[in-house]
Amino acid sequence: MAQNETTNETSPFFSEDDAALLLIDHQTGLIQGVENQDTITVRNNVLALARVGQIYDLPVVLTTSRAEGPNGPLLPELTEMFPDEEVIDRSDVNAWDDPEFVKAVEETGRSNLIMAGILTEVCVAFPAISAINEGYNVQAVIDASGSFNDRAEQAAMSRMEQAGVDLTSWFAVSSEMLKDWTKDIAPEQAGHFGERTGFYELVMASYEAAGSD
């Protein structure tokens, strides 16, 4: 259960004030291993989630696994979106085994962690379970992650559930941060929904065309 740091109230939801975003091993080589979402879709979802981090100014931690080798560098779009963030390159399989990564997480000062990564069964499941063990609240963003096949992903989801990780999707994370359509950030959020869900831009364009008659 998330511990709201400001108000000390317990809430089942994360907010822009108490959450951090952890993007793990979204590397150009590793993404080729995702075979249960097509490449257009998983990239759309990863970038959609990263943009949530920008819109709500969440602390972001970026990490890669041996980016110099065949795993490849971080997705170029992520590097562009967070030019000032250090990318922590590791030799540990479980990011949580890397002290530098854990330190970066601690320095966010947030106890609610939003995690996504490639591949779900390792790069997300392992640190998610480790973080739960350390007392953090964790949401694993399934559609901004990816797996070898549906069977492997289903096993990973089951294991995370058993450990107490909440499963979610980038659209749910985004909506959880937005909270209220009267906030200043709402139009920016609406544009983001339009760009990344596809359908919402169409609905908005139809609406505007109809209203202008």
| Closer residue to a copy of itself (CB): 65 or 109 | 65
Q: Which helix (H) or strand (E) holds 85?
A: none
Q: Which of 123, 142, 160, 178 is catalytic?
A: 123
C-alpha atoms less than 13 angstroms from C-alpha of 99 in its C-beta half-sphere: 0
Considering the rule CB under 8 A, would residue 6 count as an interface residue with a copy of itself? no
Residue 99's identity, in one-letter code, is: P
According to the binding rule CB under 8 A, does residue 16 interact with a copy of itself? no
Whether 106 sits among the annotated catalytic residues: the reply is: no
171 part of the interface to a copy of itself, by CB under 8 A: yes
Interactions with a copy of itself, residue window 40-69 (CB under 8 A):
40-44, 65-69
DSSP 3-71: E-TTT--EESS--TTTEEEEEE--BTTGGGG--SS-HHHHHHHHHHHHHHHHHTT--EEEEEESTTSTT
Q: How far is the CB of 47 from a copy of itself (least distance, A)?
A: 11
Asked if 167 touches a copy of itself (CB under 8 A), the answer is yes
Considering the rule CB under 8 A, would residue 184 count as an interface residue with a copy of itself?
A: no
Please give the structure tokens belonging to residue 113. Answer: 């962690």
Residue placing its CB nearer to a copy of itself in the complex, 43 or 110: 43
Active-site residue list:
123
